[in-house]
Amino acid sequence: MAPKRQETGRDSLAALITQLHLLGGIASRATLTERLGCGRSVMGYLLTELTDRGVVTVDRAARPGNGQDTGRPSHRVSIAPEAPAVIAVQINVDTATVATVALGGRILRSSTISLQRRIAVEALLDRICSLAAEQSRAHPRLLAIGVSVPSPVRRGDGYAFAPLHLGWGALPLHELLTQRMARIPGLTELPLAIGNDANLAGLAEYHHGAGRDATQMLYLTTADIGLGGGLISNGQLFDGAHGYAMEPGHITVDPAGAPCPCGSTGCLEIEADHRGLLRASGRAMVPDHEIAHSADLLLQAAARGEEAAMTAVRHVAERLGNGLASLTNLTDPDRIVLGGSLARYHQLAPDTITESLTARSFFSHADPALVLQGSLTTPALLGAAGLAFQPLLDDPRLTLDRM
């Protein structure tokens, strides 16, 4: 029986850290006890262990468990300042961000590299590692590094298959970063995990944002250029046999539409990202470095009610609805979360999206999915942090013992 009790204890500790992480790094003891479904004595044992390991602090002053709690006061449990943290990296088309992130998703410090002028891959990776090393000196108790990149990523070896919008060819990103980390004190022993940016953003919204409590969450987002997404099914990311699954930007929504860099025409991303919005407004020849700003000005004009801008928004919103209909027929989501400018399309033209989705989706007539705007400011960065935290959430004792 001893091994069974040990397994149960380990699972309970993992569940406790996971719940505290999902609750933003602070919660009442009563809330945590309820979520774990355990007794007060078990919770006391788990909190004592995490306190001894420097993961949490417990404020034992009398505090209410929540806003409606009129019963027995509950202690407040918080992630300790000295608790293990991770380095999260988000590589975008025009920036790369390196941040130290605490359990619960709180960003402790952050630095951004401008990519307005293209730099070589090697030079960018060197700068990322330099910033990560600098942050490691400020928070030496680091668990791992998680990296978000706008490309399908092969699960087995971190191979970035198609970072098209970065101007890169396919590259062994995990290998290139590992080689650099091996030469830098403070990074040498850190595990490294790499994921697709939209997949990681979807996971972050599922755990911390608008996707909470969904059974089947479909996530779509667009940044400056391109459109990506992910499917979270019963808490797990669906990523296919190799890690490449769910590239929703490359389903066809207009066979007679614009050519896409992938080689097809009328893809969802080319029709509904910033380029599609500008093209719908008659501004097809905008330089890459001006696309995001020009699209933002157009969206601001639409928000002011300018009809020409709203016409362009409704055009891309209809294309987005077409894409969502196809994806809904394939995935049967109970919730659809839109990020980036797609969320702004939904804010400005929700009926256009809903009508297009409903007209073309078989399932929407039976059990329509709830369509929401994403609620997180930096979902891909938090998703990269979540990727780095996963070993701790899976097996906290083993992970903490190795530090």
Cβ within 8 Å of residue 183, ≥6 positions away = none
Q: 25: Cβ–Cβ under 8 A, 6 or more apart, which residues?
A: 78, 79, 102, 103, 104, 105, 106
Q: Are 349 and 321 in contact (CB under 8 A)?
A: no
Output the CA torsion sign for 346, 343, 257, 238. Answer: negative
C-alpha span between 63 and 251 (Å, rounded)? 52
pLDDT value of residue 287: 83
Cα–Cα distance, 149 to 380 (Å, whole number): 9
- pLDDT-derived band at 73 (thresholds 50, 70, 90) equals low
Predicted confidence (pLDDT) at residue 338 exceeds the cutoff of 50: yes
Look up the pTM and report it. 0.90
Please enumerate in sequence order all residues whose Cβ is within 8 A of that of 198, keeping only pairs 6 or more positions apart, or say none: 150, 219, 220, 221, 228, 229, 230, 380
Q: Which domains does the chain have, with CATH numbers?
A: 2-79 (1.10.10.10), 85-199+380-401 (3.30.420.40), 212-375 (3.30.420.40)
- Alpha-carbon gap, residue 211 to 232, rounded angstroms: 9
**pLDDT at residue 7, as a whole number:** 38
Q: Which amino acid is at 213?
A: D
Amino acid (1-letter code) at residue 330: L
What pLDDT is attached to residue 390? 95
**Average per-residue pLDDT for the chain:** 90
Going by pLDDT thresholds of 50, 70 and 90, the confidence category of residue 71 is low
pLDDT of residue 260: 87
State pLDDT tens for residues 110-167: 999 998 777 889 999 999 999 999 999 999 899 999 999 999 999 999 999 888 778 8
Neighbouring-strand partners of residue 112: 97
Of the candidates 180, 44, 24, the one whose C-alpha atom is nearest the C-alpha of residue 103 is: 24
| The pairing of beta strand 26-28 with beta strand 85-91 | unpaired
374 and 232 in contact (C-beta within 8 Å)? no
- Dihedral (Cα; 325, 330, 335, 341), 10-degree rounding: -50
pLDDT tens-place string over residues 202-235 = 999 999 999 999 999 999 999 778 899 999 999 9
Pick the range with the lowest mean pLDDT from 67-71, 230-234, 244-248, 339-343. 67-71
Taking a C-beta distance cutoff of 8 angstroms, is the pair 35, 22 a contact?
A: no
- Residue in the structure block whose two tokens are 């808490």: 235
With bands split at pLDDT 50, 70 and 90, how would you rate the model's confidence at 10? low
Sign for the pseudo-dihedral over CA of 288, 293, 298, 302: positive
